[in-house]
Structure 1
Amino acid sequence: MDYVLRQAAPDDAEAVVLMHTAAHEESYGHLLSPAFFAERRRSIPERVARRRPYLDVPHPRILAIDSGGGIVGLADAGPPRQEDAPCALELYSIFVLARAQGSGLGRALMAAALGESPAYLWVLEENTRAQAFYRRQGFAFDGGRGHLPPEWEGVPELRMVRGQPAA
Structure 2
Amino acid sequence: MTPRAQGIHRQTRAKSHERNQRTTPPRETQRPDADSGPESRESEELNATTPVSRTESPTKQANTGPTMKLMTLRIAPIEPQWFGQKAQVQSHTWHELNQGHIPQEIADAITPDFALRLTRNAANNSNQATLVALDDNQVIGFAELLRTPRPPINRPDAAELASLYVLTAHHRKGVGRMLVEAGKHAIGNDRLALWVMAFNANAQGFYRHIGFHETGHTQTEDMGPELEMINYAGEPNQR
TM over 0.5: yes
| Higher helix content, 1 or 2 | 1
Q: Deviations over 1:64-102 (max 9, x none)?
A: 0111x3211101112100165234211001111100000
Residue aligned with 2:76, SS: strand
Q: Does 1:54 align with 2:122?
A: yes
Query: Structure 1 residues 32 and 165 mapped into 2: Cα distance closer, same or farther (>3 Å)?
Result: closer
Question: Which has the greater radius of gyration?
Answer: 2
Q: Does 1:40 align with 2:110?
A: yes
2:138 is aligned to 70
Q: Does 1:81 align with 2:156?
A: no
Task: Work out the CA distance in 1 between the residues paired with 2:227 and 2:221.
Answer: 10
Kept in 2: contact 1:90–1:119 (CA 8 A): yes
From 202, 206, 213, the counterpart of 1:133: 206
1:157 is aligned to 226
1:21 is aligned to 91
- For structure 1, the 5+ residue unaligned runs are none
Partner AA of 2:184 in structure 1: L
Give the superposed CA RMSD.
2.3
Kept in 1: contact 2:95–2:108 (CA 8 A): no
Task: Work out the CA distance in 1 between the residues paired with 2:190 and 2:93.
Answer: 26
Q: Does 1:146 align with 2:216?
A: no
Partner AA of 1:54 in structure 2: A
How far the C-alpha of 1:57 sits from its partner, in A, is 4.5
Kept in 1: contact 2:195–2:228 (CA 8 A): yes
Larger relative contact order (CA 8 Å, sep ≥ 6): 2
Task: Work out the CA distance in 2 between the residues paired with 1:75 and 1:39.
Answer: 19
Query: Structure 1 residues 57 and 3 mapped into 2: Cα distance closer, same or farther (>3 Å)?
Result: farther
Question: Identity across aligned pairs (percent)?
Answer: 23
How far the C-alpha of 1:20 sits from its partner, in A, is 0.5
Query: Structure 1 residues 66 and 118 mapped into 2: Cα distance closer, same or farther (>3 Å)?
Result: same
1:110 is aligned to 180
TM-score normalised by length of structure 1: 0.83
Query: Structure 1 residues 37 and 166 mapped into 2: Cα distance closer, same or farther (>3 Å)?
Result: closer
